[in-house]
Chain A
């Protein structure tokens, strides 16, 4: 299961205040832990919304661009992780370990196609094995 862990913006992040050395070190250690656990697929911090833009669509006109910054600070995104774990509980346990002292983090499951397993019947297994051999032999998988 893949989750996006969304870090909400704060006054500081929107004002471009950089994290302290200690905060950076703590975050570095946390990220290292995620990597070593084999679950971190991606993780990035975002520039303040003042450097961003919104593009609005409507059926009557061409898309219009609205430049940042945007007002509703707590609804903005300041960064994210993409984590791959085996349960919702697991991602929440990891999120609880983030070295934040305030603020809010939102956890959302990413749509992936890894739920198709149930569509297969056991009889397909042998066939699948053989097809795999075909794939392996013909296409260098």
Chain B
């Protein structure tokens, strides 16, 4: 039966992929601990993967595929180690040094059998090391922790495969050159390094969340990947409230993925979303993660606060039932720990919902001179919206027109010009002037 073998091989390949996803981080982590070189560790793990792809179609998938991969990688590691040692023996004097090393080797072998809880966490920290560029951190994290192939990462970020491959090669070289140790950071360094990890997870999520395209590796899958990474890191660092804050934020945002896209693929704003399409399982998980962040007994950080805001929306059955007062207060807290004009603008919107358009307008007016917002079309757009609610239609029209001139998006421009037109014809005084 021609074809049957090929089909079976394809099936086995999918199983190998699945096992790889489950086991690769542990595998590479253990190998890095022992070899001290993440690049070499990954090569050894890849060798084991190739061996599985070669052998499993014939031998069948072993009962404990993870253990099989580990044993194979271990043999490769020992071969490599011995080859290097033989080379060294040729070029160096035989002496005490070598005798020491021969004694050390059995320990080294045992070290690979040992399961060390921190291996994966160390690998996370190395992948997100500040010595690497952001792109490199993202690629390396997806590769080493997520177990994604270079090709999958390339498709997810809409870049060419060689680009990603290059990024990963260079990242590994940089880590080796910088002699980044395979250990957990401590003290203040831990906090700084952890925030780099969280940033990487957040970047991956946003890439999936903001850029849902028709690519074959769908963008929601990238969100899923980030969620999985976030959950893994949260379990590895359970005492860190910001990790739970980030996971809460991602779970709740991911709960809206389906509702954010209309039947024709058009984006749907939060206020217009059909809330029955929100994923209740993810909301439940998000709220639980937020509770974990809050239970740490420290004030929430930027991710935790954003999660708390997202939670207000998630708990509300409708826009009207949303606790805008609480959202406004949370934005105020967020503006304190992570000040930004965009956060201020968000706060203004929440204040206008909670305390009325006049209060919101006051905050927006304070932002009109902020340089960072000068070309930002949402500022006049929000201002116009509040002016309409206050019945100041002439001013509102001008704001919508200004917003329309600032956006390059035609659809949005049309919408803003419609809103401007809806404010009625220009006032008499303006007409007289013209």
Contact = CB atoms under 8 A, between A and B. Distances in A.
A124 B19 contact: no
A53 B225 CA distance: 39
A82 to B, nearest CB: 7
Interface stretch (A9-17, A35-43, A64-72): A35-43
Given A38-B231, A93-B22, A120 B349 contact: no
B98 interface: no
Interface stretch (A20-28, A54-62, A99-107, A126-134): A126-134
B285 A41 contact: yes
A42 to B, nearest CB: 7
A128 B211 contact: yes
B239 interface: no
Interface in A92-141: 92-94, 112-122, 124-141
A75 interface: no
B271 A139 contact: yes
A114 B117 CA distance: 33
Nearest to A124: B265
B208 to A, nearest CB: 10
B342 A136 contact: yes
B422 interface: no
B230 interface: yes
B292 interface: no
Contacts of B21: 86, 90
Given A37-B22, A127-B409, A134-B378, A114 B257 contact: yes
Contact of A140 (B227, B285, B331, B382): B331
A134 to B, nearest CB: 6
A137 B27 CA distance: 43
B105 to A, nearest CB: 31
Contact of B232 (A38, A86, A116): A38
A44 interface: no
Contacts of B253: 141
B279 A112 contact: yes
A138 B267 CA distance: 15
A67 to B, nearest CB: 29
A140 to B, nearest CB: 5
Nearest to B65: A93
Interface stretch (B70-78, B212-220, B294-302): B212-220
Range of interface residues on A (Cβ < 8 Å): 35 or more
B170 interface: no
A132 B269 CA distance: 8
B345 interface: yes
A132 B349 contact: no
A25 B261 CA distance: 44
Contact of B265 (A93, A119, A133, A141): A119
Given A137-B342, A138-B378, A113 B213 contact: no
Nearest to B411: A127
A82 B266 CA distance: 30
Contacts of A137: 342, 345-346, 349, 378, 382
B212 A35 contact: no
B192 interface: no
Interface string B327-366: 1000100000000001001100110000000000000000
Contacts of A38: 227-232, 235
A87 B19 CA distance: 11
B258 A113 contact: yes
Nearest to B312: A140
B43 interface: no
A129 B210 contact: yes
A17 B183 CA distance: 46
B411 A90 contact: no
A130 B258 contact: no
Interface in B282-297: 282, 285
A122 B277 CA distance: 24
Given A120-B212, A124-B265, 19 more contacts: A38-B227, A41-B282, A42-B281, A84-B228, A92-B15, A113-B257, A116-B220, A117-B219, A119-B265, A120-B213, A120-B214, A124-B267, A128-B211, A134-B269, A138-B378, A140-B313, A141-B270, A141-B310, A141-B313
Interface of B: 14-15, 17-19, 21-22, 65, 209-215, 218-221, 224-225, 227-232, 235-236, 253, 257-258, 261, 264-267, 269-271, 277, 279, 281-282, 285, 309-310, 313, 327, 331, 342, 345-346, 349-350, 378, 381-382, 407, 409, 411-412
Q: Which are the 4 A-B pairs with shortest beta-carbon distances?
A: A117-B218, A113-B258, A38-B231, A89-B18
5 contacts: A85-B18, A116-B261, A117-B213, A134-B269, A138-B269
